[in-house]
Structure 1
Amino acid sequence: MAVKWADQHDFQTLLKRSEIEDKPVLLDLHSPDCSGCGNHDRSIYSDPEIARDIMEYTLPVRVVTTDPDRASTDIINNHIFIWSPTVQLLAPDQTRYHEWNGAPRRTRLSVGYQTVFHDTPGHLTADSFKAQLLVGRAKAALRKQKYGEAIRLFDEATARFPQDKVTVEEAARWRKVAQSGGTIETSWSRHSQVTTSPLAAAVERFAQTVAVLPDSVLMKDWIGKPGPGDWQWYSDCLREVVLQAYQELCDFAVVAERERAKNGPEFNDTHRLLGQHRFAYREFQSLFVGVPDALLDTTPLRSERSIRENLAHVVMAEWWAYRPQILHALDRGRNGLPPEVVPATDTVAEHGEPLGSHESLHELLALYERLHLRNTQDYSEITEKELGIRSAWWELGPVELRFRLKRYIWHPRDHAVSIDKILDAAGHRHTANHRFASRLFSGLGTAEAALIGADGFMADRVATLAATINERADEAARLLGQVS
């Protein structure tokens, strides 16, 4: 048996059939000159078992991404973000049940990016395709509340392909959801932290506690002690106490910058740029306070990534894209060599494959925390003079590392707008307390920015500030106990 592909002109008809026949659409975005696409035809779609399952359980359609016509472009714009081939299992409304992991990486076919086209074979094998088809079908059953069928398919995937790590992890994650009748537990809360430093952990704990308090207590008498000095007059309610903690973080930044200017270590332009990124990063992180994991995979906006896809993309871009290009340019510049693009194959070989599609919000944010801090540490050693080193990537000509870091700063801000828009479209409304909690993350970013490039600087003052904020978190927890 062979796969009988429909084409772009049949796509809308297949979506209607999908609704009637209760079969998902298998979308294959394909380019004839892509080696990975050719490999799919030779080693995956030619497999009789795969061809049989595709024809029996899905409605397959192939859309060519090279020189697309209007019908193809409409589909591509809704379903391809970075590379082809892309293989997805779709619902009748075009939302994604599943996207295959391990498909070869290929730069999207748009102006600029095609100048650094990297043709890589990927590592999707016949067995991994079979495993993920089972997982995709199970996720489709889960979405349709067919929990017994979902569990059966997840179990089959695990039993047949126990060596496929991504499949086993994803099947275990979603099987638990099916077993609980579709309940997806919220993973990031005051009981489960993602930050690592004592100051960040104190702020996160306070913010998460504030976020779960009802707005009705925002202006009620505060149960904790008054603030120090003149703050004693502004410690009468939760709103004022949050403001106080925020300002204390900002005040610390003022003192730290002044002390560094007087006594060192030097605060150079690299540190200032990385400080801007830390602020953008903490504001990005604050978006997820109070966001349930159930919203991670919703796609309320046509032609938009899900929240998971946005978050995974930001993490991937910072670690799998910006990092290798920046460090490679720095190394070549220090050795007097001209700028050179890092091939995608080298990036994957060094850093592994990007994220899959099953991690919890807590796991995604905790990973981002680790990678962000590592990047900041490594980049902080770039001197002001080295900011002028030229870096080659997808642009039509090399740019300075100074500009590369500016674009690095903007990236989480860009996707923060997208995520906020998705939350709004999904009907998720941040409470007033959520919004106050997010201001605490902004204050944290301001304080941390003043310490970049100065490990251990003002350690006693940092410890005192963390202790003060932890006291406020304890008081907020007591208030939560009273109103719960």
Structure 2
Amino acid sequence: MRKLKIQWANQHDFHALLKRSEVEDKPVLLDLHSPDCSGCVNHDRRIYSDPDIVRDVMEHTFPVRVGTTAPDRASTDIINNHIYIWSPTIQLLAPDQTRYHEWNGAPRRTRLSVGYQTVFHDTPGHLTPDVFKAQFLVARGKAALRSKKYGKAIGLFDEALARHPGDRVTVEEAARWRKVARSSGVIESTWDRHHQVTTSPLAAAVERFAQTVAVLPDSVLMQDWIGKPGAGDWQWYSDCLREVVLQAYQELCDFAVTAERERAQHGPQFNDTHRLLGQHRFAYREFQSLFVGVPDALLDRTPLRSERSIRENLAHMVMAEWWAYRPQILHALDRGRKGLAPQVVPAADTVAQHGEPPGSHESLHELLALYERLHLRNTRDFSDITDNELGIRSAWWELGPVELRFRLERYIWHPRDHAVSIDKILDASGHRHTSNHRFAARLFSGLGTAEAALIGADGFLADQVESLTSTINERAGEATQLLSQITDTKPSIG
């Protein structure tokens, strides 16, 4: 009896199959393959030879294999569109080329466009036939969910949970999307005034105030303020919500002026590393402010053809800071301090140390909270780099080693870049920030300014920080009281 095999289409069939996918409501399974990739070879030997997998792939998808070794123009276009810096090589695609699912544990490869050709990362992955089958059920469920076939999606998620209870990622993802399917596609928002992502008392106070301001209607911006007047000359400028937010923002900025002056006079002194990390903190808080008022339902929207979702951008940000910038910077610093030549950290080492990056099913709150923890850890671990050490050379994507100063400058630039992408997605999704959302976002900018003045000076001006935290918490409480009054006076329906 002849053994069944997957009948792979190639790169030249890809776009025709996407059209068929739209007509026949059958997704495309994209496999980015190289005979030089041990994981890819293992897939042919262990996964794509499994009769059940062969049957399911041929029945439920249009399978396309694109070679990544010496690719032609057609292959390169597909690779650059589907390897997002460093991505899993197995993906289930919608007709518009957006991803229903990327296989966790599949080999990861870097893309081939200019800037990424010189250092090619390739990790073997750790997929087994059982894990592939588990994720295949989840992937098909996500495709059905996006098509609003909720009953079919629930059935596929239930099957994944029943057949593969030992695979943690499958269980978490299937349970998450099953809940959404059971509510007919309704996704609960998870980052709001009830779900905090920041950790320090000052940041938590600002977040609480900002999130409360964000849910207030714009109609109260100029309404008489219910709280007490501001201290000192601010008493003349605290008569409405707009002025109170301005006051809090300015107090954060004024604290930064005080901290910088005190550090200059009494230490600990600023160095260039602290200033660079301060710029990154400001960029990070402004990036974070983009999500004020953004519902989780927008995380996986793909309003721009062939472009990534907000989830994919946000997960990439987390991955870039922890799985990419961090190991390269710390590795270069360690080698430079030992007088050793620059060396690239292999991607496989990063995965072995930190595991697979997140992104497939986490809520907005979970992704932002993870980003917060990792970002603060990086800042702490980078802050002891001296000015002289900023000249240490670091090897990575470039044609030659660059200084750590430049690496940190790119680190600053990265959240700015993806903030533009996310803002564009929000706009294309029809999401509009209210005036109060925008004022709330300014509070995060003020927070970034205040925190930047404390980089490399843990515990500095603790009493002033505590006083500022108390003031902002008091304003947050007043805003909460205003919100309660508005909610209580709303006419009942029915």
Whether 1:200 aligns to 2:203 is: yes
List, as ranges, runs of 4+ consecutive aligned residues in structure 1 with deviation greater than 4 Å: none
Whether 1:250 aligns to 2:253 is: yes
Tell me how far apart the structure 2 counterparts of residues 270 and 17 of structure 1 sit (CA, whole Å): 54
Structure 1 residue matching 2:325: 3-state secondary structure: helix
Which amino acid is 1:44 matched to? Answer: I
Check the 8 A contact 1:279/1:442 in 2, yes or no: yes
Tell me how far apart the structure 2 counterparts of residues 119 and 73 of structure 1 sit (CA, whole Å): 16
Check the 8 A contact 2:88/2:106 in 1, yes or no: yes
- 1:298 counterpart residue number: 301
Tell me how far apart the structure 2 counterparts of residues 329 and 63 of structure 1 sit (CA, whole Å): 35
Q: Extract unaligned runs of 5+ from structure 1.
A: none
1:363-415 per-position Cα deviation (integer Å, ceiling 9, x unaligned): 00000000000000010111111111111111111111111111111111110
Q: How do residues 219-368 of structure 1 correspond to structure 2 at under 5 angstroms?
A: 219-368=222-371
**Deviation for aligned residue 1:78:** 3.2
Structure 2 residue matching 1:114: 3-state secondary structure: coil
Which amino acid is 1:233 matched to? Answer: W
- 2:491 counterpart residue number: none
Which of the residues 414, 419, 427 maps onto 1:411? 414
Q: Percent identity?
A: 85
Tell me how far apart the structure 2 counterparts of residues 237 and 314 of structure 1 sit (CA, whole Å): 37
1:88-138 per-position Cα deviation (integer Å, ceiling 9, x unaligned): 212233332111111112222223422222332111221111111000111
Tell me how far apart the structure 2 counterparts of residues 386 and 78 of structure 1 sit (CA, whole Å): 37
- 1:176 counterpart residue number: 179
- 1:387 counterpart residue number: 390
**Deviation for aligned residue 1:44:** 1.3
Check the 8 A contact 1:134/1:154 in 2, yes or no: yes
- 1:471 counterpart residue number: 474
1:40-96 per-position Cα deviation (integer Å, ceiling 9, x unaligned): 222211111111100111111222234444443443343222246622212233332
Tell me how far apart the structure 1 counterparts of residues 343 and 28 of structure 2 sit (CA, whole Å): 41
Whether 1:48 aligns to 2:51 is: yes
Distance of aligned partners of 1:179 and 1:418 in 2 relative to their CA distance in 1, 3 Å threshold: same
Distance of aligned partners of 1:85 and 1:184 in 2 relative to their CA distance in 1, 3 Å threshold: closer
Which amino acid is 1:169 matched to? Answer: E
- 1:104 counterpart residue number: 107
Q: CA RMSD in A?
A: 1.4
Q: How do residues 447-462 of structure 1 correspond to structure 2 at under 5 angstroms?
A: 447-462=450-465
Structure 2 residue matching 1:113: 3-state secondary structure: coil
Which amino acid is 2:284 matched to? Answer: Y
Tell me how far apart the structure 2 counterparts of residues 241 and 156 of structure 1 sit (CA, whole Å): 53
**Deviation for aligned residue 1:266:** 1.1
**Deviation for aligned residue 1:342:** 0.8
Structure 2 residue matching 1:94: 3-state secondary structure: coil
- 1:150 counterpart residue number: 153
Which amino acid is 1:81 matched to? Answer: Y
Which amino acid is 1:299 matched to? Answer: T
Whether 1:127 aligns to 2:130 is: yes
1:185-232 per-position Cα deviation (integer Å, ceiling 9, x unaligned): 000000000000000000000000000111111111111111111111
Distance of aligned partners of 1:83 and 1:228 in 2 relative to their CA distance in 1, 3 Å threshold: closer
Tell me how far apart the structure 2 counterparts of residues 442 and 415 of structure 1 sit (CA, whole Å): 17
Check the 8 A contact 2:328/2:394 in 1, yes or no: yes
**Deviation for aligned residue 1:155:** 1.4
247-256 vs 88-97, which moves further: 88-97
Which amino acid is 1:430 matched to? Answer: H
Tell me how far apart the structure 2 counterparts of residues 445 and 64 of structure 1 sit (CA, whole Å): 45
**Deviation for aligned residue 1:310:** 0.5
- 2:190 counterpart residue number: 187
Tell me how far apart the structure 1 counterparts of residues 184 and 82 of structure 2 sit (CA, whole Å): 29
Tell me how far apart the structure 1 counterparts of residues 341 and 73 of structure 2 sit (CA, whole Å): 41
Structure 2 residue matching 1:97: 3-state secondary structure: strand
Tell me how far apart the structure 1 counterparts of residues 88 and 187 of structure 2 sit (CA, whole Å): 30
Tell me how far apart the structure 2 counterparts of residues 113 and 12 of structure 1 sit (CA, whole Å): 25
390-399 vs 286-295, which moves further: 390-399
Which of the residues 483, 486, 490 maps onto 1:483? 486
Tell me how far apart the structure 2 counterparts of residues 150 and 272 of structure 1 sit (CA, whole Å): 50
- 1:396 counterpart residue number: 399
- 1:64 counterpart residue number: 67
Whether 1:376 aligns to 2:383 is: no
Check the 8 A contact 1:332/1:339 in 2, yes or no: yes
Structure 2 residue matching 1:227: 3-state secondary structure: coil
Check the 8 A contact 1:36/1:119 in 2, yes or no: no
278-287 vs 81-90, which moves further: 81-90
Q: How do residues 432-443 of structure 1 correspond to structure 2 at under 5 angstroms?
A: 432-443=435-446
Which amino acid is 2:354 matched to? Answer: H
Which amino acid is 2:184 matched to? Answer: G
Which amino acid is 1:208 matched to? Answer: Q
**Would you say how many aligned residue pairs link Structure 1 and Structure 2?**
484
Distance of aligned partners of 1:143 and 1:303 in 2 relative to their CA distance in 1, 3 Å threshold: closer
TM-score normalised by L of structure 2: 0.95
Tell me how far apart the structure 1 counterparts of residues 96 and 403 of structure 2 sit (CA, whole Å): 44
Distance of aligned partners of 1:430 and 1:84 in 2 relative to their CA distance in 1, 3 Å threshold: closer
Which amino acid is 1:150 matched to? Answer: A
**Deviation for aligned residue 1:182:** 1.0
- 1:422 counterpart residue number: 425
Check the 8 A contact 1:30/1:85 in 2, yes or no: no
Distance of aligned partners of 1:123 and 1:8 in 2 relative to their CA distance in 1, 3 Å threshold: same
Which amino acid is 1:332 matched to? Answer: R
Tell me how far apart the structure 2 counterparts of residues 335 and 8 of structure 1 sit (CA, whole Å): 47
Check the 8 A contact 1:339/1:398 in 2, yes or no: yes
Check the 8 A contact 1:78/1:302 in 2, yes or no: no
Structure 2 residue matching 1:29: 3-state secondary structure: strand
Which amino acid is 1:242 matched to? Answer: V
Which amino acid is 2:19 matched to? Answer: K
**Deviation for aligned residue 1:35:** 2.7
